[in-house]
Amino acid sequence: MDWKIGVIKGDGIGPEIVEEAMKVLDAVARLYGHNCQYRQLLMGGASIDVHGEPLTDQMVEEAKACDAILMGSIGGDPAVSPWYRLEPSKRPEAGLLKLRKELGLFANLRPAVLYDTLKEACPLKESITEDGFDMMIVRELTGGLYFGERYTKEVDGVRTAVDTLTYQEEEIRRVAKKAFEIARARKGKVTSVDKANVLDTSRLWRSVTEEIRTSYADVELEHMLVDNCSMQLVKNPRQFDVILTENMFGDILSDEASMITGSIGMLPSASLKESDFGLYEPSGGSAPDIAGKGIANPIAAILSAAMLLRFTFHLEEEADCVEESVRNVLKLGYRTADIMTDGKKQVGTREMGSLIAEGLRKK
Ligand code: NAD
Ligand code: IPM
Ligand code: MN
């Protein structure tokens, strides 16, 4: 099969971790006889440096011409990076939001799985983690607070800032359907997370998910308030199968879920629409504090590449092969600094990528 993959290396640790994901993709392609071609695309701070804006329309067109996009992460440290002296619509993050919107990527899948081998890196106590957990967060990605009208201005001499949270029923319906489809192929439970005791958007969210449930009689639906959910995640993460939630709640809950798998450096993501096209990126950021040090964990990027194989190309065996290699390397005791525990072997970004690429075994 021919793969045409757009690559956005991005900023900070982005280039370091994407290199490793490409190393692994190249190795899978060799092993299974696929032809992998990359097209480098600019976004975020790297694009601002060249074009003065975080994402040009030409890049959007080039992205659309690819089968899938593999991305690192964008952005810098707002306290020191000159990118943050620009107006908000010209900053790195605006490029990512524009790309998600222009490509119509409304469903963001973030799987949080605790591997047996990483229980010691999980900050929760053993009695909670002994049986592990495996949940899929389905985050709405092109609506809500991120895309509502916003402004800051003086009103009657008072500095006033406004962000608008809007959802239309169809935006909820399409992402809810994804969540139900995914749950059907897993343990069959959707936990829809909202703030329906306060927000109108959440009350609409509940009504629409209830309507969708009637087409999925085999899937259990429960509703949970977001504050309770953030607490339940650390109290009993095993109760969750699929978490369905809106854009902002999903952003926050997925970082929390990542940490109980050991590190934000472990959490991949897939941003999807109705077609096979997808954008695959780690859930975490550009980690300016460790950029350039060669110590970032590339596993989230590598697992994102596995999601790319699964969701865009439907190559289950190849995707399993990558995931299997990640598990084996962890079983052998190799760890990057963020998941390091007593008695394990610490390796850098490149070594971790090479170990996973070299450990691939065709089934
Ligand atoms: P961050 O996720 O970049 O970093 C938070 C902490 O996690 C840091 O201590 C960092 O070192 C650590 N970390 C993150 N990824 C890691 C990895 N792969 N291996 C080891 N440690 C890792 O969050 P932040 O510091 O709040 O944001 C930094 C920048 O990244 C900001 O500009 C933000 O807007 C951007 N960001 C981008 C994306 C994206 O591109 N999708 C996601 C989140 C944040
Ligand atoms: C993420 C990031 C982005 C988001 C930022 C960089 C805009 O935090 O992908 O989780 O909030 O969606
Ligand atoms: Mn985030």
The rounded percent of the chain whose pLDDT value lies above 70 is 100
Give me 160's structure tokens: 């006033």
Number of separate domains in the chain: 2
Give one DSSP letter per residue of 121-154, joined into a string. GSSS-HHHHTT--EEEEEEE-SSGGGGS-EEEEE
Give 159 Cα–ligand 1 centroid separation in angstroms. Answer: 30
List C-alpha distances in Å: 235 to 112, 222, 228, 238, 279: 15, 17, 10, 9, 32
Distance CA 43, CA 95 (A): 6
The protein residue whose alpha carbon is closest to atom 23 in ligand 1 is 285
pLDDT at 279: 98
Whether the predicted pLDDT of 224 surpasses 90: yes
Residues 220 and 36: their CA atoms lie apart, in Å, by 40
Q: What is the pLDDT of residue 111?
A: 98
Tell me, yes or no, whether 362 and 277 share the same domain.
yes
The reply to whether 134 and 244 lie within a common domain is: yes
Position 92 scores a pLDDT of 98
Domain that holds residue 6: 1-112+264-363
pLDDT of residue 363 exceeding 90, the answer is no
Q: How far apart are CA 208 and CA 168, in angstroms?
A: 10
Q: Does 320 participate in catalysis according to the annotation?
A: no
Q: What is the ipTM of this complex?
A: 0.98
Ligand 1 probe mutation, 9, 42, 264, most atoms within 8 A of CB: 264
In this structure, the answer to whether residues 6 and 102 fall within a common structural domain is: yes
Tell me the binding residues: 100, 110, 139, 227, 251, 255, 285-297
Contacts of 361 (CB under 8 A, 6+ apart): 321, 324, 325
Segment (H or E) for 301: helix 299-311
96 lines ligand 2 (CB under 6 A): yes
Task: Report which DSSP code applies to 56.
Answer: -
| Domain end marker among 260, 277, 310 | 260
The token pair that represents 323 in the structure block? 């995931």
The residue whose CA has the least distance to atom 31 of ligand 1 is 75
Q: Whose CA is nearest to atom 17 of ligand 1?
A: 265
Q: Yes or no: say if 208 and 105 are a contact pair by the CB < 8 Å rule.
A: no
Domain end, chosen from 236, 260, 284, is at 260
For residue 15, CA distances in Å to 19, 37, 172, 227 come to 6, 17, 34, 35
Read off the pLDDT band of 15 (50, 70, 90): very high
Q: Do both 308 and 203 map to the same domain?
A: no
Residue 118 lies in a domain: no
Q: What is the mean pLDDT of the chain?
A: 98
**Ligand 3 center from residue 257 Cα (angstroms):** 11
